[in-house]
Every structure is written in structure tokens, then in C-alpha cells.
Structure 1
Amino acid sequence: MHYDTLIIGAGLSGLAAGIRCAYFDQRVCVLERHTTIGGLNSFYRLRGRNHDVGLHAVTNYAAPGTKTGPLSKLLRQLRIRWEDFALCEQVGSSVVFPGATLRFTNDFELLQQEIVETFPEEKDNFQRFHSHLLEFNELDLHQEVQSAREVVGRFLNNPLLIDMLFCPLMFYGSARPDDMDWNQFVIMYKSIFMEGFARPYKGVRPIMKTLVRKYREVGGELRLRAGVNRILVEDGRAVGVELDNGERLTADRIVSSAGSVETLKLCDDEAKASSEPRLLEPGDVTFNEIIDVINVQPADLGHDRTIIFFSNSESFHYRRPDAPCDLQSGIICSPNNYQYDEPLSEGCIRLTALANHHYWLNLDEADYEVAKAEWTAKIRETALTYLPDYREHILDTDAFTPKTIRRFTGHVNGVVYGAPNKSLDGTLPVKNVFVCGTDQGFLGIVGSMLSGITMANNHCLT
């Protein structure tokens, strides 16, 4: 079977790329190893309840009818209606460090006011920094890599303010320990602080189902349980794939959302040997996450924040911890605290902590379950510094670790944000193979879809 484009992975970026290709009458097929769609942003049902895998918030919020910005662009490119996503804005979020709190909503003026009141000596510096950031073109796919720490340090002097700005952006998008690429910092700063958080009432399901429906409407083929065993390469050029069951499919090009390291591992030894060493360096930053279902609304207990990013230390460290999990920082997310027309039927608290993938990936099954229960309790105990003690209200708990992530995504080290070195233009050393999604570099729910759209536009439709 021959296709114009084969796409590896039925996540947000892969499906968005498939829709663009199918719109232009290409014969396109999305290949997914697992039995369901979504990848890092999938959903599942456990003990009678629906859960989202990775969704804390949709960043890059824009009000319905907005003509500019990432969200409106992707809706136009995919010909999807605003109401298909039905996004509800956040109530309000916070960054909390010892002795300082910065509140923010989808109105950027609140964050600016908070910074001026908390760090008055940085008022002019912050304005200069913000102006410099707005002048930068983060969508230039051929820019040189710059350290965000170095750029921000040229403008701001207070290390506490710097760490408080970096904390949410790193937690929601950095594959690089203790730093970010400047272009990714700009992307995340705009998407979180300037545009803000939203969420569909029913979680990620309506987004994923809308993408699949649209993809099939325009003639795209989706194959589940169709894992790619290797990419077929002839004379340095990809010509197709071999599936896990031995079936071979040929194509003019391949777009992979599996990650750059993972995609190159599917190619032959000659292709890997010709790759720059940086492209074969896997990510090292990942997380444990807990989902606690409770029998009350979090706001009824006094917790009305949508998301809290916290650090118990003034110096924020974002790296693989020596311990199984880092209890010095984390994320507290409540899917209930959005501006819905009616409340969710049950309360929910999601807790996230940096994790040591070496520890979690090397446990045997019996030790793994014991360790997961132990560290779930420890992470929850740490979070209770920042929200009311809700433990007596818990109805059900689920948790995942780097081991879970590796099992369902195939990502080396069970990482969430892929490799530290991105391929912004999507190219890899093997001709006709392009990467989209996490390792291309556009991040978040909206960013992932824009990544698929941009790679399809640049490499499949020209």
C-alpha cells in the first residue's frame, strides 16, 4: 500500500498534520501502536470514572471570534469551530515561593500589577524585558539556540522573580534541566501569562474526538494497533515503514510525532551514525502525577485556585532529582476551578512532582506498586502546605510515573517533553522524515496542533 504521507502517532500533532494533508487530497494514514488515540494527551476510564492523561489546561486561550493568535490560527487551518472545543476560562492561578506569591489570570495586567507590587525595584526592568520578548519572533524555524536564563538575566536582577517566572514555564514545557531555549520560553510565556488557561468542560475528549472526526471526514485513514517497527531507508531516503506485524507500507514522506530520538532509532544504523550526537540525546526531565477524586468541590474546602505552581525553596531547581521524586516543588491543579456553567459532578485534585526516571524504570512490579503508594502519600503531604487537607474526602486515586509514560508513549526515559535539543524546522538527517510535536518545539495543547499543521504545510504540501 502506498501513501503520499505516513504519520507516526495519533496524538494532537499527528492528527493535525493528517487533517492538513487530507484537506489537500493526499492519501494519508496515521499509524498508532496503541488501542486509543491521544498519546501524551489521551484519556481513559478507570473504576467507572473518566480521566484525562496529561491535561491540566489548554494554554493560548482566546475568546470566541478572536481573529489573531495561535488558537484562532489552528481553528482556521483545521476548519474547526470555536464551539467544538468549548473552552472555559480559568478562575485564577498562582506561583507561590517562600515569602512571595504572584497571582495571574487570563488578563495579563494582573500579573504585571503583582510583579510591580511584590518586586517594585524591578518595575522598569520588567517592562524592558517584556518589550524585548514581544519583539522576538519565536516562530522563526531557523533561529539559533539561546539560553533563556542568559537572556532574562540581562534584564532582571532579582533571582526570586526570575525563578518565579521560570517555574510555570518549565513545568509546562521544558525538556532542558534548569533552563529553557529562549524561543520556547517566549512561546510558553505568551501562552501561559499573556493568553492564559482554559479547559473544555469534559476534558480533553472533545478535542481529540473533534480531530478524529474531522480527519476521517476529509478522507484520512487511521490505523490503531499499528505500531511502527522500523522506518525503511534506501540510499539515505525514507521510502516507507515496516509495522510490528511485518506489514510494509510505502510513502513519499513520513511525519513522526514519536520524538526525534525515538524516530531515529527506527531508522537503520547508517542513518543513526550520520546523525549529530545532540539529536540522539534523550530527555532527562519527567514527572510523577497523582489524580485524587474527592466527594466535594475544592472551592467548598477553601481551594479556589485553578493551578498553583509552588517551590518550598527560593531557589527553584528543575532537574532529575536524586530521590525518587522531588518534594521541594510541584504543581497543584484542580479541573473544577474553571468558569463552567455548572460544576463538575465530582471534585478532583491533580498533583505533579519531578521524578527520577532511573529509579522508577528499574523497579520490579511488586516494589513498583509499593513505591508508587509511598510516594503518592509523600507528594500529597507536601502539597497540603498550599491547599486545605482534603484527604478524608478522597473517593479514588490513580497515579502514573515515568514507567507509565514510557509504556504508553514509547518515549525514552519516560519523559514528557521529549529531548532537550529540538528540530524547529522538523528536519532529521534522513531525507523525507520529519518530526512534529514535542521534539519540533511548539508546546502545549494548542502548540502541539500548530506543530503538526506547520510541519504538514512546510514539508507535505509544498
Structure 2
Amino acid sequence: MSAETEQDWSVRERPPGSKPRVLVVGAGVAGMATGCYAQMSGMETRVLERHVLPGGCCTAWARDGYVFDYCIEWLIGTAPGNNANQVWRELGALDGKTITNFDMFNKVTDESGRSVTFYNDPDRLERHLLEVSPADAALIRSFCRDLRRFVNIDLYPFLKPPPLQTAREKLGTLRTVLPAFRLFWRTAATQMHTFADRFQDPLLRKAFRNIFFQDPENFPVLPYLFNMASAHNGNAGFPQGGSLGLARSIEERYTSLGGTITYRARADRILVEDGRAVGVELRGGRRYYADHVVSACDGHTTVYGLLEGKYTSPRIDRLYDEMLNRPGILFPAVVSAFVGIDGDFDPGDAHSTTYLLTGEEGAKLPGALQNSLVVQLRSRYSDGFAPQGKSVIHCTYFSDFGYWRSLRTENRKEYWARKRQVADFVRDFLDRRYPGLGERIDLVDVASPATTKRYTGNFNGSILAWKAFSDADDLATKLVNKDRMRLPGLSGFSMAGQWVGMGGLIRAASTGRFVVQYLCEELGLKFNAWESDNDEAWHPGKFGHMPQLDKRLVR
């Protein structure tokens, strides 16, 4: 953007008949989606991003030719012919990309070396589980029978918020939901812990809790069935380029529509006059003005930081204050250890394995919340993640944010010592599980929950924000459907992102679509959206510049 146009955003007065101008805080998936849909609907937009990369938590880092992909493990909407895929096509997220689909969701190996593989195909899964534990036949067949039913359900409600749906659209949803209502109700009302505890085999009791790599706790059975069924249908694959590749593609789509992203632009406060948001002031004092402001960043920071807590309600206070500190409401933060190795793996090795650890082993992982470690062979997911002849592994575990925040704030030396402890543990662990691997390790780099907070600003370093099917889910649904993503007493302002529409990339993207639909209704504009026609093949060069996690290597 030219200096003249840049300056234009700092001016309040605009000629009559100018396009509605929208400022978006945050260039994560939700923020860029908001920009894309607003551009397609005839608005002029600008996205302000504190980091040097797009994507927010949907990002990657690099070192010595390795790409450390941080976010996507599976992406809902990778198969054509459904509403989730339509959103990604409109955003250009999958332009020119291949999709990797796996025949299994995850493998779980216990402390003794026994394993169970969660195949996405219900028939194959049933045969395998019966071999593992014939004594649990009735429960196994029940789970797989439900999985078969989910395979045949096409319900991806990401195109339009319910208040704006026509009677015909609502009827279409009912036709899908009503035949499966009892299935939805029963699997949503049954906690996975309760279900898993019914197995006689101790491996299955623990393994079912870890289908989603680690135990999210307080999760019902429904999301497990929904995601495994989506994966079986090829609709939960891994897009070429991974997390940052997805973000870069949406960034390219946004700028091709005429939008602008300003990086290294950290919002300090929302400018409000007479109960209306009129712009954003950055740290350092620079101001940008617009007709409407959308915050697509951390919810707590938005409400109590950028807006100083002046525009709340009992529902907002409960969601962004009380709920944040209630145990089990937020997805835990994670520690990530990225391992670059010389050579490849045995083709028969699972792409993702959760290893259940002994109590003694778990105690050696700093800040660990569970005795488990997830090992993913990320080079199997997409090309371009490692130099020629090399491979990359991503090891993760749920961890306590407060532990890492205190270390980094109060004792930086000890903070680095604990990161080295993670690296040493991972190196030794991998060498025991894959004999000889230790000698092939080129490097190990570690990202802590404090790293996530530093790069994204997410509360407590939580990547996925609220847990679905929690009390926060009900409040967030009302914020989207009843409050229309607005705050009480403040016009010209909306919220988008995972702190509004719950976690998951497709949900984040859909909030961008929703907020623009609400805005179009308010402004009397027609909402427009069309699929990208960019057919250029994706390649690793599209990553662009990637920063390192830290200036120095952990090990």
C-alpha cells in the first residue's frame, strides 16, 4: 500500500459515498477470513497484526532448513462437496494443494508396549479392537456402530449464523438433525471417561481417552465419532504446507481481493467516541480510523484490555472472566519439542502415536499435566517440512501455563534449563523407542506455553481456547446468535475468532463469515462470497520468511 493510502487511514473525514471501512485486529485465520469476506462484500479493510507472520496459532517456525509446523493435526473440510470445504475454497486456503489422508487417527501405546490403533474405517477398527480385547465385544461393537452412523451424516453448519438463516435453510438442517437426534443426544450426554471406564481391558480404558492424542478431559463421545467419521470420509485430512501454508494461502487470497495487512502493529486500545468504535490506536500512538472495528484476537484482552472493561454484561463477564479461571474449561497449553533427524523412518511406523508414560517418566517432563507424550512423524504429513534426506518429528504434551510463565518471568536461567530438560527427555525417549535414532538427531527445539503467549497473546497460552460441550460453549453460542457478536453499549464493533466461536480452525474461519454477514445486514449491503480460482500449485517457497523460535537453540 502506498504512503498516501497509508496516511489516508489516519484521517477521520472521508468523502461522501466512500466504501465502508473496516479495521480488523489480528491476522489469524478468523481475522483474515473477516477481511476476505468484507472485501468480497464491497468494503475496504485493513488487518493489524502484532507478529511478522499471518495465522496466529496456525503457524510454523524454521531452523536450519527444518519447518516446525505448530498447529494443524487434521483439518475439517478437506473433502469437496460440503459446507466446511466451501468456506476454505472461498478463502483460498486449499488453492493448489494436495491433501494427505491417513487410514488411522492415532495409535496409543501403553507403558508395557501394548498398542491399539484407532483406524478411521469402522469395520477395520472393529476387527482390530476385537483382537485386542474379545471380552469387550459388546462395547466395541456399540462404538463402531455409532461411528458408521456418523459416517453417513453431512452436517457442517459453517456458512450462516442461525439468526440469519431462512426458513428453508433451517428446515434443511432439521432434516439432517432429526433422524439422528437420539444419536447426537446420547453421544453428547455420555462423557468419554464414563464410556472408557466400562472396558474390561486396561489398555482400552486408557487408549479411548487419548484418541485425540492426549486426554482433553470432560469431553463427550460425540466429537470423537464426528472427527473420526470425517477422517474416514477424507474430510479431515492434512493440507500441503500445513499450518503456515494454510495461513499464507488465506493471506494471498485476502491481498488479491485488495486487502492490506500491517505487521508489527500491536493494538493498544480501541478508540471509542459517543458509544461507537471509531478506530484503533497502536502501541506507540499511531491511530487508524474506520467505520467498523472487528477484534479477532484474544477475548479477555479485547474486553478488559483494548476496551478497558467498559462494555460488558453478566454474560460477557461470566465468559471472559469467571470461565477463564474455572478448571477444565480451557484446552490446556502444550509444550512442543521439534526434532530434526538425518534420514527417514520405517514405512510401517504410525504417523502419530501417544505413548503412555510411567509416573516416574512423567515426572521428568517439566510442568506435565498427564503421563503421556505424543510423537508425530510430521514429514509424513506434507512435503517441505525437512531438507532433502532429513525428517522432522513433533513431540507434544499438555502442560501448565503458570509453571512456564513463572519460570520465564522470574528465573530466565531456570526457564532455559527446563527447556533443555524437555529436549534431553525427548532425545532419550526417541532413542529407546527407535533404537539408533539418537545418533541421527540434528537438533531439538522447544516451544513452551510461554512461547505461545508471547507470539499470539492467547490467554494462558491456550491454542484452542474454550472446550466444546462445556458451560463456555453455551455462553459463546449466545454471544454469536443472540448478541450477534457485539458487546452491549458499543456500536461499530464486533468480535470474531475462537474466543467467540469456540476452538478449531473451521470454526474460527466461520466466525469471520458470520461477522461480515451481520455487518452487511446492518449496512444494507449484499453479502457476497465466491470460491478462489487460483490454481497455482502450492510449493514450499510460499512459506516466505519464517522466524526462529528463539535466537539460540535449546540443544
The correspondence of residues 170-249 of structure 1 with structure 2, limited to 5 A, is 171=214, 178-180=217-219, 188-192=227-231, 195=234, 198-234=237-273, 237-249=276-288
Contact 2:365 2:422 in 1 (8 A): no
* CA shift in 2, pair 1:271/1:115, >3 Å: farther
1:55 paired with 2:71, answer yes
**By how many angstroms is 1:287 displaced?**
0.9
Residues 99-142 of structure 1: per-residue CA shift (max 9 Å, x gap): 86442456454334434544412144225644786779674967
The correspondence of residues 265-344 of structure 1 with structure 2, limited to 5 A, is 265=304, 266-272=306-312, 275-280=316-321, 281-282=323-324, 283=330, 285-299=332-346, 304-312=349-357, 324-326=367-369, 328-338=371-381
Counterpart CA distance in 1 for 2:22 and 2:380 is 41
1:399 paired with 2:442, answer no
Residues 398-438 of structure 1: per-residue CA shift (max 9 Å, x gap): 11001111110011222212245242454253445443332
* CA shift in 2, pair 1:387/1:150, >3 Å: farther
* CA shift in 2, pair 1:338/1:416, >3 Å: closer
Counterpart CA distance in 2 for 1:335 and 1:222 is 29
**By how many angstroms is 1:322 displaced?**
11
Normalising by structure 1, we get a TM-score of 0.81
1:86 paired with 2:120, answer no
Number of the residue aligned with 2:210: 167
Contact 1:292 1:350 in 2 (8 A): yes
Counterpart CA distance in 1 for 2:99 and 2:281 is 39
**Amino acid of the structure 1 residue aligned with 2:406:** N
Contact 1:74 1:450 in 2 (8 A): yes
* CA shift in 2, pair 1:414/1:14, >3 Å: same
Match of 1:357 among 397, 401, 419: 401
Normalising by structure 2, we get a TM-score of 0.68
Secondary structure at 1:351's aligned position in 2?
A: strand
Counterpart CA distance in 1 for 2:336 and 2:356 is 16
CA RMSD of aligned residues (A): 4.0
Contact 1:91 1:338 in 2 (8 A): no
Counterpart CA distance in 2 for 1:297 and 1:234 is 59
> What is the count of residue pairs matched by the alignment?
447
Contact 2:25 2:295 in 1 (8 A): yes
Contact 2:268 2:280 in 1 (8 A): yes
* CA shift in 2, pair 1:352/1:152, >3 Å: closer
Contact 1:128 1:155 in 2 (8 A): no
* CA shift in 2, pair 1:8/1:111, >3 Å: farther
Counterpart CA distance in 1 for 2:508 and 2:299 is 15
Number of the residue aligned with 1:456: 516
Q: Highest CA radius of gyration, 1 or 2?
A: 2
Secondary structure at 1:276's aligned position in 2?
A: helix
**Amino acid of the structure 1 residue aligned with 2:317:** E
Counterpart CA distance in 2 for 1:457 and 1:386 is 51
Gap regions ≥5 residues in structure 2: 1-8, 13-19, 164-184, 325-329, 522-526, 528-555
Counterpart CA distance in 1 for 2:118 and 2:287 is 51
Number of the residue aligned with 2:128: 114
Secondary structure at 1:84's aligned position in 2?
A: coil
Number of the residue aligned with 1:370: 417
Match of 1:412 among 455, 459, 469: 459
1:11 paired with 2:10, answer no
Counterpart CA distance in 2 for 1:151 and 1:226 is 43
Secondary structure at 2:117's aligned position in 1?
A: strand
Secondary structure at 2:75's aligned position in 1?
A: coil
| Structure having the larger proportion of residues in helix | 2
Counterpart CA distance in 1 for 2:428 and 2:275 is 53
Q: Which deviates further from its counterpart, 390-399 or 226-235?
A: 226-235
Number of the residue aligned with 1:42: 59
Counterpart CA distance in 1 for 2:187 and 2:277 is 33
Secondary structure at 2:71's aligned position in 1?
A: coil
Counterpart CA distance in 2 for 1:450 and 1:62 is 15
Counterpart CA distance in 2 for 1:131 and 1:155 is 18
Counterpart CA distance in 2 for 1:125 and 1:105 is 16
Percent of aligned pairs with the same residue?
20
**Amino acid of the structure 2 residue aligned with 1:351:** C
**By how many angstroms is 1:351 displaced?**
0.3
Secondary structure at 1:258's aligned position in 2?
A: coil
**By how many angstroms is 1:228 displaced?**
1.0
Counterpart CA distance in 2 for 1:362 and 1:81 is 37
**By how many angstroms is 1:157 displaced?**
6.2
Number of the residue aligned with 2:166: none
* CA shift in 2, pair 1:233/1:137, >3 Å: farther
Q: Which deviates further from its counterpart, 366-375 or 233-242?
A: 233-242
**By how many angstroms is 1:169 displaced?**
3.2
Contact 1:188 1:443 in 2 (8 A): no
* CA shift in 2, pair 1:90/1:11, >3 Å: same
Contact 2:191 2:218 in 1 (8 A): no
* CA shift in 2, pair 1:162/1:190, >3 Å: farther
**By how many angstroms is 1:373 displaced?**
0.2
**By how many angstroms is 1:393 displaced?**
0.6
Counterpart CA distance in 2 for 1:326 and 1:270 is 36
Number of the residue aligned with 1:253: 292
Counterpart CA distance in 2 for 1:150 and 1:158 is 12
* CA shift in 2, pair 1:146/1:14, >3 Å: farther
Number of the residue aligned with 2:548: none
Residues 141-183 of structure 1: per-residue CA shift (max 9 Å, x gap): 679x999573557877625657534424374xx9xx6213788
Counterpart CA distance in 2 for 1:385 and 1:458 is 55
Counterpart CA distance in 1 for 2:252 and 2:97 is 13
Contact 1:336 1:347 in 2 (8 A): yes
Secondary structure at 1:18's aligned position in 2?
A: helix
Counterpart CA distance in 2 for 1:387 and 1:457 is 51
Q: Which deviates further from its counterpart, 369-378 or 36-45?
A: 36-45
**By how many angstroms is 1:391 displaced?**
1.4
Secondary structure at 1:354's aligned position in 2?
A: strand
**Amino acid of the structure 1 residue aligned with 2:68:** D
**By how many angstroms is 1:256 displaced?**
2.6
